[in-house]
Amino acid sequence: MGLIFRRTKKLGKNTKLNFSKSGVSVSRKAGPVTVNSRGRITIRLGKGLTWRL
């Protein structure tokens, strides 16, 4: 398992600016669904359980 660098800065109630080794992205949350600027969609299914599309 490798080392992962990730840093998050909150911009508003439902918006975050994400910094990682591969670059910068913005994510926006709408209920249990989160969509980021790279087109990745994450759905929260329950406490501690997510599904990434």
Transcribe 4-53 into DSSP letters.
Answer: --EEEEE-SSSEEEEEETTEEEEEEEETTEEEETTS-EEEEEETTEEEE-
Q: Are 29 and 21 in contact (CB under 8 A)?
A: no
Output the pLDDT for position 4: 85
d(CA 27, CA 35): 6
- pLDDT tens for 1-53 read 688 898 999 999 999 999 998 899 999 999 999 999 999 999 999 988 999 99
